[in-house]
Structure 1
């Protein structure tokens, strides 16, 4: 196991999603957040997951390439929308709904969810004036 970045205990089981430093408890996590952290620029070889080859079983003309979907994690607009607990609740509701299609239709009546959808679309399908020639 790795040492906790706060108390230096040798049983850190958790990793900060932002800077990837290890910590051992909720108390150490809170202490770490008060200091503030930034995404690490250099990743350790052991922290990098091997690229999994993922392919769509039934791609269509509307299927978004996986490379574009992966760009969503770097969008500040998407991250800002996901900071809203109401948006996260809506997403959880969609994931656990027996009819996700109707749940998404219902979610699209919420302006905050439409804002998230627009932010995602801006990443995977930029407007015509932002598309490369």
Structure 2
């Protein structure tokens, strides 16, 4: 008897990460591909977001909260994100988050 070779999934199935079923446990590692590794932020740096008074202050803004909810609930998150990157309030939020998880290097800062 001869067995058929295993079927390879189409390229689009291999490339697209699958979302875990609702209610299941998953981690960031489950959805990141190897090439995304350089974009991963260590958990200890992410915890700084919860400790930031500046970020908490921004999140008190109801307009920003609505923008974030819209992104969270959107079907086309990437296109909505591109649109919101034109909104000064969203850019301020994103810049604040980046400053917290990737503080500017000391060598690039002039002494006062």
- TM-score normalised by structure 2 residue count: 0.63
Among 111, 115, 118, the alignment partner of 2:92 is 115
- TM-score normalised by structure 1 residue count: 0.54
Q: Indicate the residue corresponding to 2:42 in structure 1.
A: 65
Indicate the structure (1 or 2) with the bigger Cα radius of gyration: 2
Q: Which has the higher contact order (CA 8 A, sep 6+)?
A: 2
Residue 68 of structure 1, CA deviation: 1.0
**1:104 matches 2:81:** yes
Please provide the CA RMSD for this pair. 1.9
Any residues of structure 2 matched to 1:119-130 within 5 Å, and which?
119-129=96-106
Paired with 2:52 and 2:42, the residues of 1 have a C-alpha distance of 16
For structure 1, the 5+ residue unaligned runs are: 1-53
Structure with greater helix percent: 2
